[in-house]
Amino acid sequence: MNERPKPAVVAVGSIHYDIMVAAPDRPMKGETVTGHAWRPKFGGKGGNQAVAAARSGAEVCMIGAVGDDDFGHFLLSRLADGGVDGSRVARLPEAASGMSVAISDAGGDYGAVIVSGANLLIDPHTVLDPALWAGAGVLILQNEVADALNVAAAQAARHCGAMVCLNAAPCRELPEALRSLVDVLIVNALEAEQLCGVEVVDLPSAAHAAETLCRTFPSVVVTAGGDGVAGCRHGQKAIQIPPLPVDLVSTHGAGDVFVGTLAAALAAGETLEAALKNANIAAARHVSTRQQ
């Protein structure tokens, strides 16, 4: 096995085969919309964030699972192309690889449906190997895998002194066993409102939501799309990072680029403010670029 013994970032999470559909608009209930193009794409929050962290200069090891199918072979190849150590990604012959269908409209927004497949069958014991955590500075988690896996990974990370970053997406009730282990919570406007009841409509309200959530978590980041991003440490006022001007192509995957870049910066010892600025720049570049 070709292992990287000392990854700076460990990403535990989902890997999806994305089918991207370009259409003039997203269909309403019962409506059929004629699209004009489609393409396959590497995806899944865990995989996307791992690749983004690697592209930001971090040494990244991925924990996940794919099926022993064409989708899985594609995903493992693209993970390697992204500079991520995928030697610990399980190949499960009894399961289908995770996948999603995302419809991107003419305005650059999108909607998606995921089918988790193998992502829900990742063995929590895979995160217990001490060699995985040697030199690790940051753990990235998301909510596209089982809570038991996230809790096991967070416990292992804390044991070795690594920072636990949770991108709580898609939003769901977090078990107390996980909440108590999170060092940095990262949410978008909708997820922030669902978790703390603060409606995020602009950058000041994103800052208010971050400060509210910081009563529970040591550090919180609230992304507000085109309004910028706010970050806060417990007991401090929130940092507000204004948006950057962009020529919007598509927002798909921008949040994952933000999270991966943020994690890489934190693993490198950057301050929260510096990490937020780096991640904001990377996300702005992403939404302005037509993805392959």
Residues catalogued as catalytic: 256
**CB-facing half-sphere around the CA of 119: CA atoms within 13 A:** 30
Strands of the chain (E only): list them. Answer: 9-12, 16-22, 37-43, 60-67, 89-92, 98-104, 110-115, 138-142, 163-167, 184-188, 219-223, 229-233, 239-241
SS3 call for 43: strand
Query: Residues for the chain: how many in total?
Result: 292
Report how many helices (DSSP H) and strands (DSSP E) the chain contains, helices first. Answer: 9, 13
Q: How far apart are CA 267 and CA 216, in angstroms?
A: 23
Structure tokens at 173: 């009730």
Q: How far apart are CA 227 and CA 189, in angstroms?
A: 10
Q: For residue 87, give the nearest of 129, 141, 137 by alpha carbon.
A: 129
The answer to whether 63 and 133 have CB atoms below 8 angstroms apart is no
Between the alpha carbon of residue 154 and those of residues 158, 165, 171, 214, the distances in Å are 6, 9, 18, 19
Three-state DSSP string of 19-37: EEEECCCCCCCCCCCCCCE
Q: For residue 80, give the nearest of 4, 149, 157 by alpha carbon.
A: 4
